[in-house]
Amino acid sequence: MFKSFRSILSAMLVLLLSACANLQLPVVNGQLTPAAGQGLAIIGLTAQSFDNDTASANLTLQGPSGNINLYTRLVTDFIRAPGNTPNATGKLFVVPLLPGQYRVVAADGQWRRDSANLMMNMYQYVTVPLNLPFQVKAGEVVYLGDVHLNMNYDSSVNLSNDHARDFFDLQARHGVSNFNNIAIQPLNRGLSQ
């Protein structure tokens, strides 16, 4: 029994390590470089909740590449920040996309809330519709900024341009050292603040 458990555990570890190896970003000569016929979108998804230990957030994109869901767990994910600035709770995504018009459809999240019944976990779910357009061209790398989901009983989203933080994270984690080919086009451009 113990031997079969160890074999299953070993197989799961191999799968996990191979999945982590596939997370390598397309960096050539220090630059993010999309595959032929594709573009790249860089977007941060950060969040806060009543209970970060049980909370998760999701951002839904729609366009020529279909529906894409970007997922983060608040207890494990963070975006590295430079200097004495605290790291942000969430994840930075570099998403390969077919060229075309896209929309950030919605941000949604969940967290576990206290329940009188200790045998049953109760979750609170929130969705904030967004409908934010963006475009990706073949060969282009576009920075869309940060979508910050405030998860509470009156949930909201804040959009911001945090490219200094996000470029620092790309450099620290993935060795990106040249950002000249990245078009900074945050989702909040043109929106009244």
Domain limits for position 156 = 25-184
- Please report which helix (H) or strand (E) contains residue 101, including its range: strand 100-113
Task: Please report how many Cα atoms fall inside a 13 Å half-sphere around the Cα of residue 42, on the Cβ side.
Answer: 31
9 falls within a domain: no
What is the pTM (predicted TM-score) of this model? 0.84
Predicted confidence at residue 19, as pLDDT, reads 41
CB 47 within 8 A of CB 149: yes
Sequential pLDDT tens for the chain (193 residues): 545 545 454 444 444 433 443 468 888 888 999 999 999 999 999 999 988 899 999 999 999 999 999 999 999 999 999 999 999 999 999 999 999 999 999 999 999 877 666 666 788 899 999 999 999 999 999 999 999 999 988 889 999 999 999 999 999 999 999 999 999 999 986 554 4
Predicted confidence at residue 188, as pLDDT, reads 81
Encode pLDDT of 132-150 as tens digits. 999 999 999 999 999 999 9
7 falls within a domain: no
Q: Which residues pair with 95 in a beta bridge?
A: 41
15 falls within a domain: no
Phi, psi of 80 (to 5 degrees): -65, 140
Predicted confidence at residue 27, as pLDDT, reads 86
Q: Which residues pair with 91 in a beta bridge?
A: 45
Predicted confidence at residue 153, as pLDDT, reads 80
192 falls within a domain: no
Count: domains in the chain:
1
18 falls within a domain: no
159 falls within a domain: yes
CB 151 within 8 A of CB 48: yes
Predicted confidence at residue 69, as pLDDT, reads 97
**What is the Cα–Cα distance from 54 to 49, expressed in whole angstroms?**
9
61 falls within a domain: yes
Tokens of 72: 């983060």
Encode pLDDT of 53-72 as tens digits. 999 999 999 999 999 999 99
